């Protein structure tokens, strides 16, 4: 059964660096998420993407990016925070 997904939430980010510790290890892109808490603002992910035609592409250092979080509806809970 397919459960509808909640609306994705995107945050602006920047590719801060491209790292490859060894030739046998996949290249990683270091991504800085703008507006995130200092402890959590950097992530690393494999630098292997596909364009709209299925062609393999890589991120460029210092390029702007968006980080998107998406979840199935059954993976969320209602927001009951009255402060908003």
Reported as a single tens digit per residue, the pLDDT across 31-84 is 999 999 999 999 999 999 999 999 999 999 999 999 998 888 888 888 887 775
Please count the structural domains in the chain.
1
4 within some domain: no
**Token digits of residue 66:** 């968006």
Q: Is there a domain that residue 26 lies in?
A: yes
Domain extent for 50: 13-68
Asked if the structure places residue 31 within a domain, the reply is: yes
- Does a structural domain hold residue 19? yes
What's the predicted TM-score (pTM) here?
A: 0.74
Supply the pLDDT for residue 1.
40
In a domain, 74, yes or no: no
Q: Give CA–CA dist 32/41, Å, rounded.
A: 5
**Is 49 within the bounds of a domain?**
yes
Domain presence at residue 50: yes
């Amino acid at each position: 059964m397919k459960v509808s997904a909640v609306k994705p939430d995107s945050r602006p980010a920047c590719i801060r660096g491209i790292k490859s510790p060894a030739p046998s290890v996949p290249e990683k892109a270091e991504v800085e998420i703008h507006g995130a808490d200092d402890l959590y603002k950097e992530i690393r992910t494999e630098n292997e993407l596909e364009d709209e035609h299925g062609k393999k592409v890589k991120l460029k250092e210092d390029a702007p990016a968006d980080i998107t979080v998406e979840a199935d509806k059954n993976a969320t809970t209602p927001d009951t925070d009255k402060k908003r």
